[in-house]
Structure 1
């Protein structure tokens, strides 16, 4: 088994959140032997490109991986899009390990596509509202496949199904299960969780650790783009 003490895990939070939202992930992976770093960025004031250039890249430049060590990522929501934007232009010599994306709007946000024209929403969430729709010009749709060794975990049990009329029955309340699907993913897991608190569920924390160490999630019922979910993790 790989010596995790040589590896670093970088955490990237989502829209309207802070590094504190990933404290459970941070503590869990620290106990598993990883060094953990967090990217902090004012998500409601920056475009994706600006957050990558001014916050994500400087954080990565400060890392000092041990010889032979790798840098993994765990992201939540918008954080996954920042990771993809960085990965698309990363230095090929960067010691990239594995990545787990929690609730990423990889196909764009269905909610923002429908409501992004509202002035109050733009004032509340900032410039990314105009970047994260489902249209072909949105940032997520322009990024292409994810790097090898990337896994996606989606929830399908919203606590407050406010957007059910927009998202349908298979969503975490903010992103549909299908909306997390992305070309190049190594594994895909669906669990009964909502978007806001998916990173606090023990089943998710165990799955994250397992993927970082093994490149796959624990065996889960199969979910497909065509057939939907045939059961769920508990």
Structure 2
């Protein structure tokens, strides 16, 4: 996709949204790296288990209305929260969204956890959105997904994916109809917030509305 008229340039405001069982401080390293790329970065925190999307989405909408923001970057559940906010408030002037390892089509890991009485509380009020995901993206914002293909982490204990995965989220789960672009980097699910490649891809999408490459080339 070619550069659009609502490009997010250096100096523009970006809000980062964390995922399940995390807090806003978890994304500080990612925020610092994007700041080094020239963007103004801010963090949005919410109680993913106790509050979930029912409270997080309205709070995010309120913040975006109060503090106009050019783009959102969400890790895992955070990407779903970001898209739900824009879907509920399409008038928000958010140009682009980058989702890092977000199970936009729904999470097999979450569905399997929900089936275990002892593990179900880990999902809390975020369970329905994580289990079901979205059908497609039809909003005005351009949406890109950075997915990982290194199957490492605790997620492997609860789900077996037919295709590639980042250990928690399957690659197929990150491919939502209506996306602007999609790319794959060599990272685990948690590692996406620390991945230099993910940062480069995110910054490129924020500037140009497309990723630099579809699949990361292995280091020689």
Q: TM-score, length-normalised on structure 2?
A: 0.86
User: Which residue does 2:110 correspond to in 1?
Assistant: 112
After superposition, the CA RMSD in angstroms is 2.2
Partner of residue 19, structure 2: 14
Shift of 1:144: 4.4
Question: C-alpha distance in 2, partners of 1:52/1:214?
Answer: 27
Map of 1:159 onto structure 2: 152
- Quote how far apart the aligned CAs of 1:164 are: 7.7
Q: Give the drift of 1:34.
A: 1.9
SS in 1 for 2:169: coil
1:112 Cα deviation after fit? 1.7
Q: What 5-or-longer segments of structure 1 have no aligned partner?
A: 222-231
Task: Pick from 124, 127, 134 the counterpart of residue 126 of structure 1.
Answer: 124
User: Contact 1:109 / 1:175 at 8 angstroms: preserved in 2?
Assistant: yes
Cα distance between partner residues in 2 of 1:214 and 1:142:
26
Could you say if the C-alpha distance between residues 210 and 49 of structure 1 is closer, same or farther in structure 2, counting changes exceeding 3 Å?
same
8 Å contact kept, 2:109–2:158: no
8 Å contact 2:70–2:94 — kept in the other structure?
yes
If asked which structure has higher relative contact order (CA below 8 Å, sep 6+), I would say 2
* Paired residues of 2:204 and 2:210 also in contact (CA < 8 A): yes
Shift >4 Å, 4+ stretches: none
For 1:101 and 1:45, the matched residues in 2 are separated by 23
Q: Distance in 1 between matches of 2:120 and 2:210?
A: 37
Give, in angstroms, the shift of residue 131 of structure 1: 3.6
Aligned CA distance change for structure 1 residues 146 and 21 (closer, same or farther; 3 Å):
farther
Q: Which runs of 5+ in 2 are unaligned?
A: 1-6
Matched, 1:150 2:149: no
